């Protein structure tokens, strides 16, 4: 670890820890410390697999949370909101997140330091953790969204851009409709578990959760409600 990016980062970590020790209830998790539910630096989320836990450690050690927030939304110092940012939604296994993290974004008013020493494994774990936080956050956001949906728009999305009809046949639609919004957002197979390699369908659902908007989900849920 060397270079100005690294020095800047250590300064940031020191500041973050200083702030953490000032608060009474706010406990700042030290890098490498095991996450417990409610821990501040995980946004209250305990990662369910070893890979995600390794990713969380890279995230905290690199102080990503200091600028992007523990749940990716509390963007500080002009940092991007990684929960809604389009680029993160397009990333596959760190192919975009890794390039940005390694290079940094030095020419902005508030720079993002470069994390050039990250290994391919660390980038893969880090990206997996960022995607996990993003999916958890967007799941909560879509569940909390209660404005009435538009069934006609939902049908168009189901048969078009959502790609749902490619995998869910007409006969299948009724059982899918009964499953409800929570299962639609995150089917059982799309929830990360140790020793589970998600199916192509589950991966497609994880990607949809990171790209479809709360309104699109509400429209599809409303459309499916008309099929029951």
Nearest-approach distance from CB 161 to ligand HEC, in angstroms: 9
- The per-residue b/e assignment along 186-203, b for 16 or more CB within 10 angstroms, e otherwise, is bbeebbbeeeeebeeebe
Q: Hey, how many other C-beta atoms are within 10 angstroms of the C-beta on 85?
A: 16
Return the exposure string of 32-67: e unless at least 16 CB atoms fall within 10 Å of the residue's CB, then b. Answer: eeebeeebebbbebebebebbbbbbbbbbbbbbbbb
Residue with smaller CB distance to ligand HEC, 37 or 110: 110
Q: How far is the CB of 77 from ligand HEC (least distance, A)?
A: 5
Q: Between residues 35 and 202, which has the closer beta carbon with respect to ligand HEC?
A: 202
Cβ closest to ligand HEC, residue 25 vs residue 78: 78
Question: Shortest gap between Cβ of 24 and ligand HEC (angstroms)?
Answer: 25
CB of 183 to ligand HEC, least distance (A): 4
Cβ 173 vs Cβ 134: under 8 Å = no
Q: Which two tokens stand for residue 142?
A: 């879509």
Residues of this chain that bind ligand HEC (CB under 6 A)? 12, 62-64, 66-68, 77-80, 85, 87-88, 97, 100-101, 105, 108, 110, 112-113, 115, 126, 130, 158, 162-164, 166-168, 175-176, 179, 183-184, 187-189, 199-202, 204-205, 208, 220
Residues counted in the chain: 228
Task: Give the helix ranges, DSSP H, for 62-159.
Answer: 64-68, 86-90, 97-103, 120-144, 151-159
Cβ partners under 8 Å of residue 127, min gap 6? 55, 91, 93, 94, 97, 98
Query: Whole-number minimum distance, CB 172 to ligand HEC, in Å?
Result: 9
Closer residue to ligand HEC (CB): 37 or 164: 164
Rg (C-alpha) for the chain, rounded Å, is: 19
Least separation in angstroms between residue 52's CB and ligand HEC is 14
Chain centre to alpha carbon of residue 23: 27
Nearer to ligand HEC, 171 or 188 (CB): 188
CB closer to ligand HEC out of 43 and 113: 113
């Amino acid at each position: 670890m060397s270079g100005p990016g690294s020095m800047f980062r250590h300064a940031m970590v020191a500041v973050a820890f200083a702030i953490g020790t000032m608060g009474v209830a706010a406990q700042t998790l030290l890098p490498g410390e095991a996450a417990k539910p409610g821990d501040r630096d995980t946004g209250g989320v305990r990662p369910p697999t070893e890979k995600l836990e390794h990713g969380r450690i890279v995230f905290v050690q690199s102080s990503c949370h200091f600028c992007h927030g523990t749940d990716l939304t509390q963007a500080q110092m002009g940092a991007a909101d990684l929960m809604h940012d389009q680029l993160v939604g397009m990333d596959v296994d760190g192919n975009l997140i890794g390039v940005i993290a390694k290079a940094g974004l030095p020419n902005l008013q508030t720079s993002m330091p470069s994390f050039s020493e990250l290994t391919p494994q660390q980038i893969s774990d880090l990206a997996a953790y960022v995607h996990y936080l993003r999916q958890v956050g967007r799941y909560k956001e879509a569940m909390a969204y209660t404005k009435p949906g538009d069934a006609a728009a939902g049908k168009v999305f189901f048969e078009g851009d959502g790609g749902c009809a490619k995998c869910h046949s007409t006969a299948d639609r009724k059982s899918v409709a009964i499953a409800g919004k929570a299962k639609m957002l995150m089917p059982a197979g799309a929830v990360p578990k140790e020793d589970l390699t998600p199916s192509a369908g589950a991966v497609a659902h994880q990607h949809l959760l990171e790209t479809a908007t709360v309104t699109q989900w509400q429209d599809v849920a409303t459309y499916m409600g008309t099929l029951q």
